[in-house]
Structure 1
Amino acid sequence: MKAFRCRVCENDLYLENSLCISCGSALGFSRSERALVPVGDDGRYTDHTGATWFRCANRELAGCNWLAPAEGARCDACSLTRTRPSDDDAEGLGQLPAAEAAKRHLVIELDTLGLPVVGRDEDPVGGLCFDMLSSVDENVVIGHANGVITIDLAESDDARRERVRTELGEPYRTMLGHLRHEIGHYLQMVVVTPGPLQDRCRELFGDETADYQAEIDRHYSEGPPDGWEERFITTYATMHPFEDFAETFAHFLHIHDTVDTAAELGLVTVNPAGFGSFRDLVLGVWVPLSIALNQINRSMGKGDLYPFVIPDAVLDKLDFVASLAPAGPGGGEAT
């Protein structure tokens, strides 16, 4: 993630900032400029082309600090949300901002990589949209179907999410991680299947036409196959070729974003875009960086930041999903 600075006073900023704590300037995120820009007292920003932008209508509802093209309109990221909790669902609405913040982060990642973010307004049938659902009164299953990504907002609650992570024996579980996994399903649908890449995808991940429900039943009755660590990044990836692809894609985003952030902040001295393949980037930068970050976390009494081992077979899979990004297999320019 890019390092942001206030254009008024040069103070360091975080992506989520809507106000500079140093000079007090109101801020908004410009997607086209990929920058936090100063917003006037009237809530407007005029860019270099003369176009006027406005604060997102979801500023209060979802804590959104992005700019929208019209007054009273939602920004590009918020417009991707098809369903949200009802106004009388205080708990669900309280969980919404964290999920929307993770989604905004995801959209920036996809923009950086040149991957498609086509909403339902452009493609009513297969376009991307999000159902941010409250599980206060109903069961919500996180998943993807034909461009619709469903998210259980209860996953925004740290205590609940940690309990579920422990119950399922998962080494890692975050809201951003859920979104990265589900967007992998979407991108496999729109970029890989059908198309010339399908044969190579099947060679690496397996035949995606395998009965999904049967594979789910097998996974939960028998568990992962013996020796899974040599071919998969997680046990969940062993369930079905679709899940292997989505898990691998999520890890591609984990690694790409963290390496680029480290490079932007001067923690990595090499340019990530200089690697000819994602495999080389993983071996040359990510492995030593993740070991160092894990050691730092342990110094703070925390668990490993990246509690995974990447076998050689997964390197091939990572290389494949990275090649889907127009920015290039090495991950594009540091953001």
Structure 2
Amino acid sequence: MRLFLCQFCGARLYFENRYCESCNHWLGYLSDTDTLSALVCLDEEAGSAGLWQPLAAPDRRVRFCANALYDACNWVVPAELGNGAVLCEACRFNRIVPDLDDTTNLARFRRIELAEHWLIYTLRQLGLPIPDRLEDPAHGLEFHFLAPVPGKPKPLTGHDEGVIVLNIEEAEDAIRERNRAAMGEPYRTLSGHFRHEIGNFYWDILVRDGDKLADCRALFGDDRQDYAEALKRHYAEGAPPGWQDHYISAYATAHPWEDFAETWAQYLHIVDTIETATAFGLRVKPPGEAAGTAPLAADFDPYRAKSIEEMVAMWLPLTFAMNSLARSMGHGDLYPFILSPAVIEKLGFINDLVRRR
């Protein structure tokens, strides 16, 4: 994620900021121009539900997304679209949300919305299609954020023909860490959930419906094998010996769909983290770095990388630095994955899919 600057005072801003902590101007994200702008209120009595003037586009009038009322969104919509009850370009994919009068649900929803907005930003930067249910009633994207109901089975996070379900308990660090440890995973975050499940969504669009099945099966395996049986076998037997040579994670060994989704998530991790590093002007080249890797360049644009080799050459020294810094603070590795040649080849396939768009 890149950094932004306040148009009023020049202070540095983060993507999720609702207001500038330096000059106290309210902020709104203009998705059509990818700009986080300081705002001037044009209707003091209406407050956040009223009209606002972006300093980055003073000729425009905007309103906050309807989810701003829950302190869950800082994106704005054109004033002509409605009277403040309109959802933004990210929140419009939310079909089912929990009862937000419940304070626990509301706190979880706010964390989920941040991860969702981060995802939609990345997909837009990559130029990927994001059809909603109105554009594609059968396969368009929609999110169901479900709260557990006492006495009923817990909702399972997953994807089915464009519908992405997320158990909102995953927004709780303690619960998510417990699940991570129980399932033997090295990494589990809200962003990771979104990036994995959106990988399943794009398998449908770019592979199944994009005439790439044969190429994909040659790398990831035959997706026609029984999915339920494959998962049952995985949870009973675990990953096969030596899986690290061919897969990014143990879970990726369960089925070719999961291998693709896990690899897709890694691709988004890499793209977004490199963008963040370049936004801070980082240049990383550890001493003794292996031949074939390059220092991170401050002007490198991961969204326009022509080859995965170019991206990986910058990613490896960055992850070495990230993990070393985390260990210095007494934490585990921020990036606990190994990119084997086979995994890099799979990442290259995904990069080529994205570049075709």
TM tier, smaller: over 0.9
1:239 pairs with one of 254, 257, 263 = 254
The structural deviation recorded for 1:133 is 0.8
> How many Å separate the matches in 2 of 1:158 and 1:86?
20
The reply to whether residue 98 of structure 1 matches residue 111 of structure 2 is: yes
- 2:287 paired residue number: none
The structural deviation recorded for 1:50 is 4.2
| Deviation readout 1:243-271 (Å, 9 max, x if unpaired) | 00000000000011101111121013524
> How many Å separate the matches in 2 of 1:97 and 1:327?
34
Q: Is the 8 A contact 2:306 2:355 kept in 1?
A: no
The structural deviation recorded for 1:83 is 0.1
TM-score (norm 1): 0.93
- 2:53 paired residue number: 45
Q: Is the 8 A contact 1:113 1:327 kept in 2?
A: no
Greater Cα offset, 102-111 or 39-48? 39-48
The structural deviation recorded for 1:327 is 7.9
| Deviation readout 1:33-89 (Å, 9 max, x if unpaired) | 211112222341357494422111111325211002333211111111000012454
> How many Å separate the matches in 2 of 1:51 and 1:206?
50
Q: Secondary structure at the match of 1:58?
A: helix
> How many Å separate the matches in 2 of 1:208 and 1:316?
18
The structural deviation recorded for 1:276 is 3.6
The reply to whether residue 54 of structure 1 matches residue 66 of structure 2 is: no
State how 1:290-329 maps to structure 2 within 5 Å.
Answer: 290-326=319-355
- 2:226 paired residue number: 211
- 1:33 paired residue number: 33
RMSD over equivalenced CA pairs, Å: 1.7
- 2:89 paired residue number: 76
| Deviation readout 1:134-172 (Å, 9 max, x if unpaired) | 125341100000100001110000011111111111110
Q: Is the 8 A contact 1:204 1:317 kept in 2?
A: yes
Q: Secondary structure at the match of 1:272?
A: coil
- 1:331 paired residue number: none
> How many Å separate the matches in 2 of 1:277 and 1:122?
32
- 2:142 paired residue number: 129
The structural deviation recorded for 1:221 is 1.1
Considering only CA atoms, is the larger Rg found in Structure 1 or Structure 2? 2
The structural deviation recorded for 1:280 is 2.9
Unaligned runs of 5+ in 2: 44-50, 284-295
> How many Å separate the matches in 2 of 1:9 and 1:171?
42
Q: Is the 8 A contact 1:279 1:318 kept in 2?
A: no
Q: Is the 8 A contact 1:224 1:239 kept in 2?
A: yes
2:122 pairs with one of 109, 113, 135 = 109
> How many Å separate the matches in 2 of 1:17 and 1:88?
23
> How many Å separate the matches in 2 of 1:227 and 1:147?
33
- 1:5 paired residue number: 5
The structural deviation recorded for 1:223 is 0.8
Question: What count of residue pairs does the alignment treat as equivalent?
Answer: 327
- 1:187 paired residue number: 202
> How many Å separate the matches in 1 of 2:33 and 2:100?
33
> What is the letter of the counterpart of residue 71 of structure 1?
N
Greater Cα offset, 130-139 or 155-164? 130-139
The structural deviation recorded for 1:192 is 1.0
State how 1:233-312 maps to structure 2 within 5 Å.
Answer: 233-268=248-283, 269-270=296-297, 271-273=299-301, 275-282=305-312, 284-312=313-341
> What is the letter of the counterpart of residue 217 of structure 2?
R
- 1:332 paired residue number: none
Distance 1:245 1:322, change over 3 A: same
Greater Cα offset, 205-214 or 135-144? 135-144
The structural deviation recorded for 1:227 is 1.0
| Deviation readout 1:91-133 (Å, 9 max, x if unpaired) | 2233111001100000000011111111112222211010011
Q: Which structure ranks higher in relative contact order (CA pairs < 8 Å, sequence separation ≥ 6)?
A: 1
> What is the letter of the counterpart of residue 277 of structure 1?
S
Q: Is the 8 A contact 2:220 2:256 kept in 1?
A: yes
Q: Is the 8 A contact 1:224 1:235 kept in 2?
A: yes
> What is the letter of the counterpart of residue 45 of structure 1?
Q
**Identity over aligned residues, as a percent?**
42
Q: Is the 8 A contact 1:272 1:281 kept in 2?
A: no
